């Protein structure tokens, strides 16, 4: 699903990643570990195409296609999902409107067809019921006034609705209580058609995910056992 070859990444001319070679197999639950500052978030940003980071050399192959020079929007529409640690607040853009535009863009990219409001509302209602998300949340601005746990719940809502083929979850368990961690693990384990690359520092949550592979970063390099 994802192959990274000889990747070197910098930010403001400071080298952050050196000679990264990584393969994430289709259907994997791949755990990315390492101490703070080891390069995990930099690698995530390189994969999603954050323009602030410079790929000095190397390549990123996703689902058989070289996406090294593709922008973030194209990568997202191809099926790369990011559940980030720190998400922005967007005053004036409601959760409902954001989700509708997101799903419409994905469907049009994948099929060339539009998304009917009936289909959207049915899927949204089912997902909200599963996550116990109140309807009034949908009319609130993105992440404005939401707690950390509520933002994680909205991230899961987006994950369920978009059904990406590749999902990156950057410490999804951070700040989540044990009940929500269990629910999150159940959802992740139930998404058999999605490949996951996730970052976590909590052994209890990690065990619930049952990682198929583990890669450890240190000082911008992959640790070789």
Tokens of 107: 């469907």
End-to-end CA distance of the chain: 23
pTM value > 0.75: yes
- Tell me what pLDDT residue 113 has: 85
Tokens of 121: 């509302």
Closest CA to 197 of 73, 22, 64: 22
DSSP 6: E
Provide mean pLDDT across the span 39-68.
95
C-beta of residue 15 within 8 angstroms of C-beta of residue 55? no
Domain extent listing, the chain:
2-222
pLDDT score of 175 more than 90 = no
Measured in degrees and rounded to the nearest 5, phi and psi for residue 221 equal -130, 155
pLDDT band (50, 70, 90) for residue 225: low
Lowest mean pLDDT segment, chosen from 7-11, 84-88, 155-159: 84-88
**Distance (Å, rounded) from C-alpha 20 to C-alpha 222?**
6
What is the C-alpha R_g of the chain? 17
Q: Which CATH class is domain 2-222?
A: alpha beta
**Distance (Å, rounded) from C-alpha 152 to C-alpha 45?**
19
The pLDDT tens digits of the residues spanning 196-209 come to 999 988 888 889 99
Measured in degrees and rounded to the nearest 5, phi and psi for residue 169 equal -120, 110
């Amino acid at each position: 699903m994802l192959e990274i070859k000889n990747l070197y990444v910098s930010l403001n001319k400071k080298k952050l990643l050196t000679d990264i070679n990584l393969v994430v197999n289709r259907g994997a639950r791949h755990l990315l570990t390492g101490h703070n500052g080891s390069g995990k978030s930099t690698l995530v940003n390189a994969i999603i195409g954050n323009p602030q980071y410079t790929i000095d050399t190397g390549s990123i192959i996703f689902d058989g296609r070289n996406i090294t020079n593709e922008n973030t929007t194209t990568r997202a529409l191809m099926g790369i999902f990011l559940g980030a640690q720190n998400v922005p607040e967007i005053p004036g853009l409601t959760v409902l409107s954001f989700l509708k535009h997101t799903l419409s863009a994905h469907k049009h990219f994948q099929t060339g067809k539009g998304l009917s409001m009936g289909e959207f509302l049915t899927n949204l209602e089912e997902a909200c019921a599963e996550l116990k998300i109140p309807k009034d949340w949908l009319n609130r601005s993105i992440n404005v006034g939401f707690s950390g746990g509520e933002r994680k719940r909205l991230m899961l809502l987006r994950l369920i609705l978009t059904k990406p083929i590749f999902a990156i979850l950057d410490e999804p368990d951070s700040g989540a209580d044990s009940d929500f961690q269990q629910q999150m693990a159940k959802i992740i384990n139930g998404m058999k058609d999605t490949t996951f690359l996730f970052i976590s520092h909590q052994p209890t949550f990690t065990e619930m995910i049952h990682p198929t592979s583990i890669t450890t970063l240190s000082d911008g390099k992959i640790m070789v056992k």
